Amino acid sequence: MQSRSLSKYSAEILRTVDMLGTVSVQELSQILGVSDQTIRRVTRPMAERGDLSKVHGALVSNKSALDPPFLSRMSVNRDAKVAIASEVAQIIQDGDSVAIDTGSTSAFIAQALRQRKALTVVTNSAFVASTLAMIPGNNVSMAGTQLRDHDGAAFDRAAFEVIERMEVDYCVLSASMVHPTKAFLVHEQCEVDIASAMMDNAKTAIMAVDASKFQPQDRRPALRQPAFKEGDMLVTNAAPGADFDVALKGLNIRVAG
C-alpha cells in the first residue's frame, strides 16, 4: 500500500474513531470497507503517535472529554443511530441528491452513505461534508462559511443561499424530541429555518430519530419543525406508540431492524 493511501485511511479512521469514541477493529473494517489487516497496519503508527489508543482489540479516541457536546452526542444511543443510518442508506440510491442537516444521527447517516456512488449532497454540517466529499464521483456542497465551535454547523446567510439554490431528491432532518400532538421539536430557531429551506427544495423529507426522542425530556424543546407532507418519511428504530398517531399521520414510517 502506498503512503498516500495510508494517509487517506488514517484520516478516515481517526474521524470515525473520534465520532464513535470506541470501536472494534472488525466494526471499523465494516464501516470503511477495508480489511482488518489494513486497519491494524494503518492504526499501529497512529497509536504510537498518540492519535488514538488501542485497548483489547478496540480503537479508542484520545479526544478530551471537554471536546463534546457534538462528539458526546454521537455516543448516545449509538446502536439505534447506526441501525437508522443503515435504513436511510437503503432509501437513498446511487446518483440521488440529498440535503443533510447537522444532527448526530445525520452524522451516522453520512457514514452509511459512503457506500453509495455519485451522490449530490448539500449540508450545513462540516462533519457530513468532510465524510462524503472525498468519495470519488460525489458532488458535495458545504453550505455556509462560519462554523459553530461546538458542532461544526453553519447557520449564516451563506448557508441558506446555498441550500435554497439546490433542488434535491431527499432531505434528511433530525429533531430533539417527538411530541404526541406537536410532532417534531427542536431547541433553536435556526434549526427550524434550515429544515424549512431544505424541505422546500426536496421531493421527499426523511426525519431520522431514535426511539428515545419519543420519551419526555427534562429540557423540552419548544420549537416545531416545519409540517411534513403526506408521503414524507420517518425512520426510527422502534415502532411509535398509538399516542403518536396524530403527529405522524400521513408519514411513511420505516422501523430499522
Q: Quick one: pLDDT at residue 97? A: 98
Are residues 146 and 156 in contact, defined by beta-carbon separation less than 8 angstroms? Answer: yes
Which of 35-39, 170-174, 214-218 has maximum average pLDDT? 170-174
Interval 68-104: pLDDT, tens: 456 666 667 888 999 999 999 999 999 999 999 998 9
* Alpha-carbon gap, residue 191 to 197, rounded angstroms: 10
Calculate mean pLDDT across residues 52-71.
Answer: 69
pTM to 2 decimal places: 0.76
Q: Quick one: pLDDT at residue 8? A: 72
> CA nearest 113: which of 82, 143, 142?
82
- Which three three-digit cell numbers place residue 257? 431492524
* Alpha-carbon gap, residue 19 to 105, rounded angstroms: 11
Are residues 158 and 186 in contact, defined by beta-carbon separation less than 8 angstroms? Answer: no
* Alpha-carbon gap, residue 5 to 175, rounded angstroms: 37
* Sequence spans of domains, the chain: 3-61, 70-255
168 DSSP β-pair partners: 202
What is the pLDDT confidence band of residue 2, given thresholds at 50, 70 and 90?
A: very low
Give the domain 70-255 fold: Rossmann fold (3.40.50)
CATH 3.40.1190.20 correct for 3-61: no
- Which three three-digit cell numbers place residue 179? 411530541
- Looking from the CA of 229 toward its CB, the CA atoms found within 13 Å total 10
